[in-house]
Structure 1
Amino acid sequence: MFGSLHGILHAPALRPSFPFICSRPPVRTMKVPGLSADTSLRTRFDRIRQVTVALASPLSPEDMMVQSMPDASPGKWHLAHTTWFFEQFVLSRRPGYVPRHPGWMVLFNSYYQSVGPMHARPRRGLLSRPSLQEVLDYRCYVDEAVGEWLEAGDDPDLPALVELGLNHEQQHQELLLTDIKHALWCNPLRPAYRPDGWVARSSPSQPLRFLSGGEGVVEIGHGGTGFAFDNETPRHRALLQPHALANRLVTNAEYLAFVHDGGYLDPGLWLSDGWATVQAEGWQRPLYWQDDLASEFTLGGVQPLDPEAPVCHLSYFEADAFARWAEMRLPTEAEWEAAAAGLPVQGNLQEQARLHPQATMPGEGLRQMFGDVWEWTASPYVSYPGFRPLPGSLGEYNGKFMNGQWVLRGGSCVTPCDHVRASYRNFFPPHARWQFAGIRLGKDL
């Protein structure tokens, strides 16, 4: 055990005291657009890099090597790949730079065909070497090198590249947790990622109400200052028809009613590919719900199913089928973004360290727009009008996946607060269930 996740996330300046965390001297500040006036990019770099290691701290070296399915990656690979990203796209820009371990540039490349070959994704769990300690040493080496270059401040393009790398790192913080959750669930013992101090919060049911959304022409997409991925751009006009959105997320109790009503047995509720998947995979309930339909597997082990908490770990197919059963529909991403624009990014996010969706607290207006679960939308993941990917190899980051995927919005209980925003577009294939994904209902007016 490397340390305490809850303690790390709530410690001042998020600075863990692990023996393998690199110590650094005081640094002068470098400002980057989108950061507060008293935050340097170097400070942000150090904090985010250390949080990733803190999230891995409850895991053993054996845990860190497990790959439970091709869509997931071992924790050790996440630690190495996020470091590879900084070495490949930041440090390698320096004239004459030689990679620390040239062979690792193949092992920890994910899908960037234009920079060279890569180890097969389904076989990442076979990489017993390099060791976990060697990967941690690699992180320290790259952190020191990137930090020194940030201090030098002699490359005007460096801040934007580092900021992209940090947002990439935060995506892998989420994946590290969702991937290890799936791996631990595959163990018949159902071991917990965090067995001590499990925090759950329940509250009385909030009535489901529908709030009218805007209609007519609106602008969506990232605009102004601050970081955004290329797939959030350009800002453009969209036409909204009269509609309404649910004030909160769909709960476990509401989804349980769908299960009891034979929702997984009625082909009329499902898209054709969805019904074929239900039949092929034998789906009868959400991923991680136990046979008794009264408990579920969480990062705290098997816990009672809170009827008022948002249902999660649903595929797009399940979300769409539930909406049909409820005689509703899923919101479009334009409807969702128009409703979320201007709302503060707050909620049950990674910093709360609950690591599981929580029942909504009383309040007016739209609730749970950020945090708890990613919300499936009715929108396929395609480019915005006038979209241009990033230049060079980084153009492979998002654009080439605009095929056969669906958009999710709003972040989840494992999303960092400073990583998500109203324009953020997550995307997964429609059968994916291992992410913290759930449902907000919409309807036409």
Structure 2
Amino acid sequence: MQTIVSSKSELLESYQKVRSHTQYLCEPLEIEDFVVQPVMDVSPLKWHLGHTTWFFETFILKPHMKGYQEFHPKYPILFNSYYISAGDRWSRENRGQLTRPTVNEVFEYRKYVDEHVERFLSGGDINDRIEEVLILGCNHEQQHQELFLYDIKRILGDNPLHPAYRKDEKKVKKVESKAEWLNVDEGIYEIGFEGDGFHFDNEEGRHKVFLHEYQISSGLVTNGEYMEFIKDGGYRNHMLWLSEAWDWVNENQIKAPRYWHQEGEEWWNYTLGGYEQVLEDDPLCHVSYYEADAFARWRGCRLPTEHEWEVACNMYSPNILSETNFVENNQFRPAQTSDFDFFGNVWEWTVSPYVAYPYYNPPEGALGEYNGKFMVNQMVLRGGSFGTSKNHIRSTYRNFFHPHLRWMFSGIRLAKHI
């Protein structure tokens, strides 16, 4: 939701479009796929469906729709994620223990809430605050749509059968592209969101940063480049790794990106389209911050700061092009484009810790817990991925994950000092 809309009909259309896309993502799945939780970081898919519905019920219907009766008195405990102000929560690591409510009952919950939201938007007065929360809820569901894809890939990807999630994806158009270095001069730049469109609170406030002269790659690191890192003993050379990262490599016996498997001299990987040979020219995906940092050192480079990334993006690729690889393209995989790929394809690790900007001012109440409470021990990623909705991303968007995680659609762009 890039712009704040004003009419109830536009709000309703935005809401219905987001909710229907979640249904679209569910279409290829079997009912057994919705209930699995292999690790704590992966939520059962039915939980995503219930949680995004709980958001609208809790923050729109219950406080604002006269006479609204909640669908089930215990659902708030099951589907609240981390909003302490909103009440008790079921523990994250135990979401997969719950066989009830059934998948069908969760879909009934979604239908019930959708009917009431649609009735609410067709009825009484919608003030600015309700509009803001509704648009936040739509963006929140778009975030969970991408998490939904991370999680279904994690659920299916470790299955020895390697079942495809979706076979009707569009064929990827082959594009010839050669990475080069883009120059950015030393100077004082402004970063952070400004304007009237939707943005998350962690993108505020607009502020100045000083940057030394630097170069940033015009393209993403490819699978073929990362194969050379592996072949050169990258995972065995402790000099390339941060101390904590080296412990992680050895304790978990990490030897390649997530979902990669070597068969003889060839590399294969699980994709949402099934088990396939790794394509050398495609952008690298599913690496942790630890791996991204080690690869950059191996190349004699570094990762960009989030400030450098945003300034370079606004300078060289300020607009999102029609060919950009977002979820609407139905490719469901990274694929090289003729643009600089600052947007879409894979989230790009930066060397910046996730902390508050100057002037950061979260809203009061439970929604103030949306971003600020996670500003510790996480690293910023920028740009979106092939699982991101096109109208959800912008150059100021700040994603964040712990440095050891890699089940998300994460890759690498290099930078270096001049």
Taking structure 2 as the reference length, the TM-score comes to: 0.95
Q: In 2 relative to 1, CA 406–235 (structure 1 residues): closer, same or farther, beyond 3 Å?
A: same
- Whether the 8 Å contact between 1:345 and 1:420 is mirrored in structure 2 is no
Residue 196 of structure 2 is aligned to residue 225 of structure 1 = yes
1:162 to 119, 123, 134: 134
Pairing partner for 1:286 from 257, 262, 269? 257
What is the match of residue 159 of structure 2? 187
1:173 equivalent to 2:145? Answer yes
1:214–1:416 CA distance, 2 compared to 1 (3 A): farther
Distance of 1:32 and 1:213 partners within structure 2 = 27
How do residues 175-254 of structure 1 correspond to structure 2 at under 5 angstroms? 175-197=147-169, 199-204=171-176, 206-254=177-225
Residue 147 of structure 1 pairs with residue 134 of structure 2: no
Stretches of structure 1 that go unaligned for 5 or more consecutive residues are: 1-30
Asked if the contact 1:32–1:40 (Cα under 8 Å) also holds between the matched residues in 2, the reply is no
Counterpart-to-counterpart distance in 2, 1:301 and 1:331: 33
Residue 198 of structure 1 and its aligned partner are, at CA, apart by 6.1
When the two chains are superposed, the root-mean-square deviation of aligned CA atoms in Å is 1.8
The answer to whether the 8 Å contact 1:214/1:338 transfers is no
SS of equivalent residue, structure 1 residue 427: strand
Question: Residues of 2 paired with 1:228 and 1:387: CA distance?
Answer: 13
Q: Residue 25 of structure 1 corresponds to which residue in structure 2? A: none
- 50-59 or 92-101, larger mean C-alpha shift: 92-101
SS in 2 for 1:217: strand
The AA in structure 2 aligned to 1:261 is D
Instruction: Report if the CA contact (8 A) 1:203-1:308 is conserved.
Output: no
Q: 1:217 to 1:443 in 2, by over 3 A?
A: same
Shift of 1:81: 0.5
Matched to 2:292, the amino acid is A
Per-residue deviation, 1:57: 1.0
Q: Partner amino acid for 2:332? A: L
1:344 to 294, 319, 328: 319
Q: Is the CA contact 2:8–2:121 (under 8 Å) kept in the aligned structure 1? A: no
How many angstroms does 1:128 deviate by? 1.3
Structure 1 residue 272 and structure 2 residue 243: aligned?
Answer: yes
Q: Which residue of 2 aligns with 1:378?
A: 351
Aligned position for 1:83: 53
Cross-structure match for 1:7: none
Alpha-carbon offset, residue 332 of structure 1: 0.7
Within 5 Å, which residues of 2 pair with 1:37-56?
40-56=10-26
**Alignment check: 8 A CA contact 1:312 1:373 kept:** yes
Indicate the SS of the match to 1:263: coil
8 Å contact 2:170–2:331 — kept in the other structure? yes
Alpha carbons 2:169, 2:331 under 8 Å: kept: no
**2:331 maps to 1:354:** yes
SS in 1 for 2:262: coil
C-alpha contact (below 8 Å) 1:109/1:117 kept by paired residues: yes
- Quote the offset at 1:185 in angstroms: 1.2
Does the CA-based 8 Å contact 2:169-2:330 persist in structure 1?
no
How many residues end up aligned between the 2 structures?
A: 410
- Structure number with greater CO (CA < 8 Å, separation at least 6) is 2
Q: Answer with 384-393 or 369-378: which moved more.
A: 384-393
Look up the equivalent residue of 1:444 and give its one-letter code: H
SS of 1:294 mapped into structure 2: strand
Query: Residues 196 and 345 from structure 1, CA distance in 2 versus in 1: closer, same or farther, beyond 3 angstroms?
Result: closer
Deviation at 1:201, TM superposition (A): 3.6
Write the distance in 2 (CA, Å) between the matches of 1:58 and 1:33.
31
Counterpart in 2 of 1:422? 395
Gaps of 5+ in 2: none
Q: Deviations over 1:364-389 (max 9, x none)?
A: xxx10100000000100000012111
1:260 paired to 2:231: yes
